Amino acid sequence: MGTCTVCETKGNHVSDGLGVCALCLRSGSKEARHQAEKAHAESRKRFGLPARPPFDPSGIRCGGCVNDCRIPDGGTGYCGIKKNLGGSLSGVSSTRGKFSRYHDPLPTNCVGDWVCPAGTGAGYPNYAFCIGPEYGYKNLAVFFHACTFNCLYCQNWQFKEQTHLPQTTDVFSLISAVDAKTACICYFGGDPSPQAAFSIQASRLALKKNNDTLLRICWETNGSMNPGLLAEMLEIALYSGGCIKFDLKAFDDGLHQGLTGASNRYTLENFRRAGKWISKRPVPPLVIASTLLVPGYIDAAEIGAVARFIASVDPEIPYALLAFQPQFFMSDLSTTPRRLAYQCEEAARRAGLKNVRIGNRHLLS
């Protein structure tokens, strides 16, 4: 049973790893914010990552994401892979990235599998190889080893063990994995945001290589990247039949910062920007949204707020509610209760969304 260090509330839905309850995070109190900052700093220490985004007035401004790091000489950005060496940014580039890759047979367990061409044949024949699931084809999954957020419940937190390592991989090594049976490339992680320029360059080269063959390009992201980079990603996804899958972790910014260590300002602004592209290609959907149902923190009220925001952009946007598995600094929580998942689904539909789905049902308790 966890205890909130601010209001001293006790319960199974207060994580000791975070040390503060959802109500206190939403209140915006200094005490709640301070406790959350302590938890994030502690979670990053073991991986050698900066406790908070650096802001050195004389440092180099990265400008790649919402954190707006100003990196001092010899220092590292919040993501852990952008470095200031002698007044120049280094670490990764448009031609070298930090990632792992593998092939997944289609259809795969993707956030958008119930609406995307790989799982449904949506957009056939322009964007899908067949009517129905693309059996016999595969997805090239590109997992980036860095992130602009620091989710204390991260479901793939092990990537942090790779972030500080100096090794990078050439873009052509990635492109060599694209063959005649590769129907799509999906960038995720971690998050693509710190390496958006690399993913854009890789995508352009892959599409050039597959000039006469379908190759969908998709991103699964927290949406915190620079808006200019997002525009390039949207253009590629639109042309190729791919999509941008936004992970909308919370609507309330205090709660979002408590859980992720970062503001959702760029995420919400970028989601609205992406929504303006939807009419250019309604099928298959260009924009998909998802939220992880973290017990005690993401409840029906929070999902209702997220869903109303999505509906204000376009009520047809597919929305996946994902069951939570205890991980990282919030491993003391339970999996998502079945009752909570159904309450959240109903809240999303009441908010006006027309295509809502509960994912990872096998994790529901």
Please give the Cα distance from 35 to 152 (Å, whole number): 13
- Between β-strands 83-85 and 70-71, what pairing exists: parallel, antiparallel or unpaired? unpaired
Check if the beta carbon of residue 240 is closer than 8 Å to that of residue 215.
yes
| Model pTM score | 0.96
Please give the Cα distance from 125 to 104 (Å, whole number): 22
What is the structure's pLDDT at 105?
A: 96
Q: In DSSP terms, which residues pair with 320 in a beta bridge?
A: 290, 357
Please give the Cα distance from 25 to 313 (Å, whole number): 26
Give the pLDDT of the chain (365 residues) as one tens digit per residue. Answer: 688 999 988 877 899 999 999 999 999 899 999 999 999 999 999 999 999 999 999 999 999 999 999 999 999 999 999 999 988 888 899 999 999 999 999 999 889 999 999 999 999 999 999 999 999 999 999 999 999 999 999 999 999 999 988 899 999 999 999 999 999 999 999 999 999 999 999 999 999 998 878 999 999 999 999 999 999 999 999 999 999 999 999 999 999 999 999 999 999 999 999 999 999 999 999 999 999 999 999 999 999 999 999 999 999 999 999 999 999 999 999 999 999 999 999 999 999 999 999 998 888 88
Please give the Cα distance from 24 to 254 (Å, whole number): 9
What is the structure's pLDDT at 363?
A: 85
Sign, Cα dihedral of 73, 36, 250, 116? positive
What is the structure's pLDDT at 1?
A: 67
List of domains in the chain? 1-46 (no CATH), 96-363 (3.20.20.70)
